[in-house]
Chain A
Amino acid sequence: MKTYITSIGFALVLLMCGIQDVYAGSQQHGKPSFTPEAIATFSKSVEKYAAGEGARAFIIARRGRPIDDMPKGIRFTHTAIAIYSSIQLSNGDTAKGYAIHNLYQDAEEQGKSHLITDYPVDFFWGAYALEAGIIIPSAEVQQALVNLYRDDKAKLLHNPQYSVVANPFNSKRQNCTEYTLDVLNAAIYSTTDIAQLKVNAKAHFSAQKVNMSRAKLGLASMFSDGLTLSDHGRKVETTTFGSLAHYMQKYDLSEKAVIFASNGETTIIEEFNNADSD
């Protein structure tokens, strides 16, 4: 009986530490892992790389955790869409650069999300590694994406009900990468009819299987509003940067998909061994 109580106590302490760790995670990520100048320099080199490729729109991803902490097959933790823009600054000047259109999880209410536009230095501010996932769409897809943002239609695809492992084949929950997929498909199919987009995704998109047992995920979901399996059937699959890259490559929607490192080197995603792919 004593052992029983001790073990339960031990488990609860671990559990509380874990919960604290997770919630502190959002705050920890607010603190940069690198110096401001390193983040600024890296962010600017990502921008210049994309601009050098002539990208008016591209998909961008960051890694917010050590690779060993990530489920097998997943490398990036946050994905968004960067649009080449004219940016009016608070000092009255106008500058050319990329605005990044994100779906961000609410730090307080973790089962909710918001659409927020930020800029490369904001995007990489809390990154664990100075590396970026970059998918440069074909010229036609870029134009369709730019038009979608010009017409302010991307916001119509937002579902504020958040889950980190959201099922991309229904509209019950959404995470940042599923939102990116929905925006991409909305641009390609010229529609914001979410039901139609989900049918199309089911027909053509291959989601990433989450390599964790359903029991573990189910138990973990008891301790976070940001993780639920209520939108899944037997299999737990979600959208990842790697699955987006494969989808776009499979249907000739992309010109290039790379991992951009802090030394400026790029690795083609197909050749990368652990590049967030299935």
Chain B
Amino acid sequence: MKNTRSTLMLTALLSSALFTHSAMADDSFDHSGKASKHSALAASEGLATTASVASAVVAVPVVLTGSAVVAGSAVVESAVNESARNLHQASHQSSVASNQPLVITETIITADPAPNQVVTTKTKVITTTTNTKR
């Protein structure tokens, strides 16, 4: 009897723990690397006709400077340095007045898959091509 009671208590505790675990599990996972996302969006018939889908290469904060905002470039040094510099120059030409509603593109922008996924895909393509040539 004592054994049964202890066992039931243990069962209840373990069950409770696993539900606790499930409830507490954050959903802070990255959804940006889903290769099918871009194509799923592109194939959506319900999207407004003006909406297009595009992958982002780099994003540069638009910086407030006095009464106007311009793009800054320091955030994206290293691998995307050149892209950022070009973007920085382009953004300087189109500053936006502060305290005003901001312009938002109609384009549906997605992040590209993680670099390792891109490299894996490219490797597979190269392998396939090589095999075909043989």
Main secondary structure of the interface of A (DSSP, over half): mixed
Is A223 touching B13 in the complex (CB atoms < 8 A)?
A: no
Report whether B102 and A223 are in contact in the complex, using a CB–CB cutoff of 8 Å.
no
Chain B residues in 8 Å Cβ range of A95: 54, 105, 107, 109
- In the bound complex, what is the Cα–Cα distance between A87 and B87 (angstroms)? 8
Whether B21 and A119, one on each chain, are in contact in the complex, defined by CB atoms closer than 8 angstroms, is: no
Residue A21, interface by CB 8 Å = yes
Looking at the assembled complex, report how far the CB atom of B118 sits from the nearest CB atom of chain A, in whole angstroms: 12
What are 22 A-to-B residue pairs whose CB atoms are below 8 Å? A3-B7, A4-B7, A7-B7, A8-B10, A10-B11, A35-B46, A36-B43, A40-B41, A86-B87, A88-B60, A88-B86, A94-B90, A95-B54, A104-B29, A119-B56, A125-B34, A146-B63, A150-B75, A175-B28, A219-B14, A219-B16, A223-B18
Complex contact A86–B26 (CB within 8 A): no
Residues on A facing B (Cβ under 8 Å) = 1, 3-4, 7-8, 10-12, 14-15, 17-19, 21-22, 25-26, 29-30, 35-38, 40-41, 43-44, 47-48, 51-56, 62, 64-65, 69-71, 77-78, 83-91, 93-99, 102-105, 107, 113-114, 116-123, 125-126, 128, 139, 142-143, 146-147, 149-152, 164-165, 175-176, 210, 212, 215-217, 219-224, 226-227
B-side residues, CB < 8 A to A, are: 3-4, 7-8, 10-11, 13-32, 34, 37, 40-41, 43-47, 51, 54-64, 69, 71-77, 83-84, 86-87, 90-91, 96, 98-112
CA distance A233 to B8 in the complex (A): 30
CB nearest neighbor in B for A77 = B27
Q: CB-CB < 8 A to B32: which residues of A?
A: 116, 118-119, 122, 125
The smallest C-beta distance from A69 to any residue of chain B, in angstroms, reads 5
Most buried by A among B32, B77, B86, B91: B32
Q: Nearest chain B CB to A90's CB is how many angstroms away?
A: 4
User: How many Å lie between the Cα of A53 and that of B101 in the bound state?
Assistant: 6
Residues of B within 8 A of A125 (CB): 31-32, 34, 37
Query: Which of A91, A128, A139 lies in contact with B99, CB distance below 8 A?
Result: A139
- Would A216 and B90 count as touching, CB distance under 8 A? no
Q: Give bound CA distance, A234 to B107, whole Å.
A: 49
Question: Nearest B residue to A45 by beta-carbon distance?
Answer: B104
Residues of B within 8 A of A41 (CB): 46-47
